[in-house]
Chains A and B, each alone.
Chain A
């Protein structure tokens, strides 16, 4: 916004109803794009602030996944899981899956709290609340990239050669990120009104992790049936299958889940755009 440009803004009751559907998506994306610097600033703040008063600092971003890998190595050696044919050492299988899963689980938890954490600021300063939610996904995206880098070292360590799909993993993870962000928009909105949502999310994620074959191979029975309709499963397992085997039996499922992810994202983002102003009076 430059000073020479005199913009006129009108606020009326049910302001969001004044705007038709036409051009709505364009407005939404322009708003997100115009606020990209704000988003980056909040993202930086969120990442740096956490580790500022710790001796290891940003090293924790590496220590956490390394500890997790240690756990999986032990679990793998003791044959806790009956894996079926995964054609890779268990730690690689598990960490690759968990890195994609955590993009969802950590991202959703932090975006659920993004509006509530901003608290009084929302009621005092008028800024794009979308930036808060988008930025909250940033730290989980960073954690994903670090875990992915560690996976690369695991391949070297176990002397296993991945397929060339490994370079495409960041791209293959995009539908998962998009789905997380979409759900995150709605969840943050509702958590601002009903704090129950924020409390329920971690429990729900635990439950979903058990239902989704991330740490174990899919199997028959009730879980198998649920897995068949579980978009999260396709978004985790198909990129992993491609990296480990070069092909996947569930490509159609992956494409369908990706399409679903984008539809959910657009719907939730638009919903958020239309109602974010309602949040200020409730936070």
Chain B
């Protein structure tokens, strides 16, 4: 193993058992076999067992930090536990050079009856600090935790925020070569979270390498230099952290269960977007949306776009009035966040029309989106029509580099046009 490789994971697999009764029997068998100096034959699956981590390999060098991303149950935490030596792999080999620290389950070793002061000592000892280290860092830990005069109060009287702050403070002050971080960056209030991230940055400057597990892509990208995307225990991507996050977001998009407001399909046109939400009493219905499409640059309805693609919102409407109307069009992702929006004023005469709003490029990041299409009069007071239409998908490509809901390179006003609705929208391929 080269000297600058801190962690080397070679074809590592780990199996788990789904059944507690079988698990007991297997444990007794394995322990007995080991004591008789026999192999427990770990590379074979017995009934009710499955591979939680399956043939994973990667290396982490000095100065690097690795972000592990993947859906729940993809083996991220198990991988951290294997690197930490909490249990042995069932196949392959894990080699670790240097001292390993764990920023995992902060406050796990706290005893509710003991004071903050006493718990600092106990917890630090469990985390592998020596007596001298704790004495040296005690003041820094207390200051970081910011628990004021609660230091000599039993921790069971702490607020949950104080509890995790103290836990984080202890764990963040052991000085390892490799720090394993599992979903603990979301502790405390926003101010403390910032403090935590600052502390991690500080540690990184001191030369500590991280292996980080988080579902918060922003913190993964902020801390990690390399990314590994896992799915069902297997590595699906290893390399650039942004690329790994993109893979994870795609997994979320493709494999997640979709929560729709309703699935009220108002048109039998499969190329059209469905009306997923509508406030029935809100609007005079003097202007009615008949159909909603999203079109690509060739005017063909699509349900999948890339960030750099042109996207045209095409609303087929029937109007009973002649008015200068104001359109409110927003793109909303699955979490209900408005990622992009515009208001545009167009002239509408009585008749059947197609209103086109061309976004070029669409600039959204990876995700599933619906759009709102609200029609008001020009003064925004009198609504004609409202509705949410969905869903379509966007995959991040080229233009967008920052993870998160949306971050366009530049905001562009859509081109707006009102054309006759007589020309039917050509049937496109669905996706």
Q: Which residues of A contact B (CB under 8 A)?
A: 1, 3, 6-17, 37-38, 41-42, 44-45, 48-50, 52-53, 120-127, 189, 193-194, 271, 274-275, 277-278, 280-282
Give which listed residue, B27, B39, B175, contacts A278 with CB less than 8 A.
Answer: B27
CB pair B105 A120 closer than 8 Å: yes
Give chain B residues whose Cβ lies under 8 Å from the Cβ of A48.
113-114, 118
Determine the distance from Cα of A64 to Cα of B391 in the docked complex, in whole angstroms: 71
CB pair A194 B28 closer than 8 Å: yes
CB pair B27 A125 closer than 8 Å: no
Let me know if B131 is at the binding interface, CB within 8 A.
Answer: yes
CB pair A13 B89 closer than 8 Å: yes
CB pair B86 A126 closer than 8 Å: yes
Which B75-94 residues sit within 8 Å CB-CB of chain A? 81-82, 84-94
Give which listed residue, A1, A53, A275, A280, contacts B128 with CB less than 8 A.
Answer: A1
Given contacts A9-B85, A11-B93, A193-B24, 17 further A-B contacts (CB under 8 A): A8-B96, A9-B96, A11-B85, A11-B95, A12-B92, A13-B88, A13-B91, A14-B34, A45-B114, A124-B102, A124-B105, A125-B108, A126-B86, A194-B24, A280-B81, A280-B87, A282-B23
Let me know if B141 is at the binding interface, CB within 8 A.
Answer: no
Give which listed residue, B28, B121, B127, contacts A125 with CB less than 8 A.
Answer: B127
CB pair B85 A126 closer than 8 Å: yes
CB pair B113 A49 closer than 8 Å: yes
Determine the distance from Cα of A122 to Cα of B35 in the docked complex, in whole angstroms: 21
Give chain A residues whose Cβ lies under 8 Å from the Cβ of B130.
37
CB pair B88 A15 closer than 8 Å: yes
Determine the distance from Cα of A20 to Cα of B160 in the docked complex, in whole angstroms: 47
Q: How far is the CB of B360 from chain A (nearest CB, A)?
A: 50
Let me know if B48 is at the binding interface, CB within 8 A.
Answer: no
Give chain A residues whose Cβ lies under 8 Å from the Cβ of B43.
13
Let me know if B336 is at the binding interface, CB within 8 A.
Answer: no
Let me know if B243 is at the binding interface, CB within 8 A.
Answer: no
Given A8-B96, A14-B34, A15-B88: A124 in contact with B108 (beta carbons within 8 A): yes
Q: 6 closest Cβ contacts across the A-B interface?
A: A41-B125, A49-B113, A52-B113, A13-B42, A38-B125, A11-B94
Q: For chain A, what secondary structure do more than half of its interface residues adopt (helix, strand, loop), or is it mixed?
A: helix
Give which listed residue, B88, B104, B121, contacts A41 with CB less than 8 A.
Answer: B121
Give chain B residues whose Cβ lies under 8 Å from the Cβ of A271.
35
Given A14-B39, A45-B122, A126-B102: A278 in contact with B31 (beta carbons within 8 A): yes
CB pair B114 A49 closer than 8 Å: yes
Chain A, residue nearest B38 (CB): A17
CB pair B97 A7 closer than 8 Å: yes
CB pair B87 A281 closer than 8 Å: yes
Q: How far is the CB of A117 from chain B (nearest CB, A)?
A: 11
Give chain A residues whose Cβ lies under 8 Å from the Cβ of B82.
11
CB pair A124 B98 closer than 8 Å: no
Determine the distance from Cα of A8 to Cα of B96 in the docked complex, in whole angstroms: 6
Which B50-104 residues sit within 8 Å CB-CB of chain A? 81-82, 84-100, 102, 104
CB pair B126 A38 closer than 8 Å: yes
Chain B, residue nearest A16 (CB): B34
Give which listed residue, A8, A120, A275, A282, contacts B34 with CB less than 8 A.
Answer: A275
Q: How far is the CB of B358 from chain A (nearest CB, A)?
A: 53
Q: How far is the CB of A220 from chain B (nearest CB, A)?
A: 40
Which B116-166 residues sit within 8 Å CB-CB of chain A? 118, 121-122, 125-128, 130-131, 154
Let me know if B404 is at the binding interface, CB within 8 A.
Answer: no
Q: How far is the CB of B130 from chain A (nearest CB, A)?
A: 7
CB pair B30 A278 closer than 8 Å: yes
Chain A, residue nearest B156 (CB): A53
- Select the residue from B37, B87, B100, B102 with max chain A CB neighbours within 10 A: B87
Given A52-B114, A271-B35, A278-B30: A3 in contact with B177 (beta carbons within 8 A): yes
CB pair A193 B27 closer than 8 Å: yes
Determine the distance from Cα of A11 to Cα of B95 in the docked complex, in whole angstroms: 6
Q: How far is the CB of A273 from chain B (nearest CB, A)?
A: 11
Give chain B residues whose Cβ lies under 8 Å from the Cβ of A282.
23-24, 27
Which B8-62 residues sit within 8 Å CB-CB of chain A? 16, 23-24, 27-28, 30-31, 34-35, 37, 39-40, 42-43
Give chain A residues whose Cβ lies under 8 Å from the Cβ of B30.
278
CB pair B95 A10 closer than 8 Å: yes
Chain A, residue nearest B84 (CB): A126
Let me know if B188 is at the binding interface, CB within 8 A.
Answer: no
Give chain B residues whose Cβ lies under 8 Å from the Cβ of A7.
97-99
- Sample (5) of A-B pairs whose CB atoms are under 8 Å apart: A10-B93, A38-B125, A124-B104, A127-B128, A278-B27
Give chain A residues whose Cβ lies under 8 Å from the Cβ of B88.
11-15, 277
Give chain A residues whose Cβ lies under 8 Å from the Cβ of B28.
193-194
Let me know if B199 is at the binding interface, CB within 8 A.
Answer: no
Determine the distance from Cα of A3 to Cα of B154 in the docked complex, in whole angstroms: 33
Contact with A along B302-342 (1 / 0, CB 8 A): 00000000000000000000000000000000000000000
Determine the distance from Cα of A264 to Cα of B125 in the docked complex, in whole angstroms: 29
Let me know if B1 is at the binding interface, CB within 8 A.
Answer: yes
Determine the distance from Cα of A10 to Cα of B96 in the docked complex, in whole angstroms: 6
CB pair B109 A125 closer than 8 Å: yes
Chain B, residue nearest A35 (CB): B125
Give chain B residues whose Cβ lies under 8 Å from the Cβ of A44.
118, 122
Q: How far is the CB of A207 from chain B (nearest CB, A)?
A: 24
Q: How far is the CB of B229 from chain A (nearest CB, A)?
A: 23
Chain B, residue nearest A53 (CB): B113
Give chain A residues whose Cβ lies under 8 Å from the Cβ of B215.
none
CB pair A9 B24 closer than 8 Å: no
Determine the distance from Cα of A37 to Cα of B135 in the docked complex, in whole angstroms: 13
Chain B, residue nearest A120 (CB): B108
Given A9-B85, A14-B39: A45 in contact with B93 (beta carbons within 8 A): no
